[in-house]
Amino acid sequence: MELTSLLLYITIFFSAILVLILFSDGDLTLMLLERFGKRLSSVKGQVYWIVGASSGIGEYLAYELVANGAKVVLSGRRENELQKVKAQCLIIGKKAGLSETDILLLPVDVTKLELHQQYFDAVLKHFGTLDVLVNNAGRSQRAEWMNIDIRVDKDLFEGNVFGLLNLSRTVIPHFLAKKKGQIAVTSSVCGKVGAPCSASYNATKHALHGYFETLRAELTCRGISVTMLCPGPVFSDLLSACATDTYGQKLGSAMTKKDRRMSTERCARLCAIAMVNQLDEAWISINPVLLSLYVSQYAPSLFRSFNGRVGARVAMSLRDSRNDLVNSCKKDVQGEKSE
């Protein structure tokens, strides 16, 4: 009887956990902190440097931060787009008491490593300090593994990994001197699970975890916190500049309102909550991608067996929601010929 009761309690517990996951758009710790954790108003007066702020998650993260009184540095390569983001930040930030001097527009190309100290000096000259570096720059990819030109791999690593790595190393001495600082890194669910037809991109995101989790292990005791943000499918313009298997080529596609993706605003808000609560890692996604992360984490062999059976095209459809992107891998994938 006691064994039966125990099994019943275990069944009820795990069923409740499953229901919570299915009705969430973030990992359970993040959902708990959204309700009971540190408030976003705690960012007031702090300086955030957002690299990759011209669109997508970076853009809406800037809006979320200034709405709560944070000072921001808006960086990216597209200055015209940054100007638009700054203008919107001024409108939003005015209600929080911010002025134009609280929002710095700083065009940055993260691949130009020799300019990183110059970029950071500009931040310090304007604000005198930095509290949080948000490494949000990067490009996605659609390409079959065996057809990728090695120059594509190198190109994605230059922008998605080495640029962010070097910029972080430029900033960290400042954090160590003040004995406090945070680095947030926009990874992806693809940094946890290798999605088909984006090998170079997946590898860059896995590399970010390797680098920055090591940083956390080394410097947490010295006041440096590291937050890895792992979004799933989110509305943005990443498909326009998305890499393919050919060096110098861009996918040139665009998302549509019919795609099954999380809103950019919601993703940015959850990213901000993860940052202010200094989570080590946050999963942010709609289902079934979120559930698949849990299965891959706690039953890896089962997940990979299932993933292998359903095939690459089904896995891609969960990520992209559209046949035109599923078919962007133009060669055969796992024996399934693209139409």
| Catalytic one of 48, 63, 119, 201 | 201
Q: Is 247 a catalytic residue?
A: no
Q: In what order do the strands lie in the sheet with 71-76?
A: 103-107, 71-76, 47-51, 132-135, 181-186, 224-231, 281-284
Distance CA(149)–CA(105), nearest Å, equals 35
Residue 269 φ then ψ, to 5°? -65, -45
Whether 185 and 206 have beta carbons less than 8 Å apart is answered as no
161-184 burial code (b ≥16 CB/10 A, e <16):
bbbbbbbbebbbeebeeeeebbbb
Candidates 179, 173, 169, 183; CA nearest to 228 is: 183
Distance CA(326)–CA(125), nearest Å, equals 47
Q: Which two tokens stand for residue 253?
A: 């596609």
Distance CA(137)–CA(338), nearest Å, equals 31
Residues that are catalytic: 201
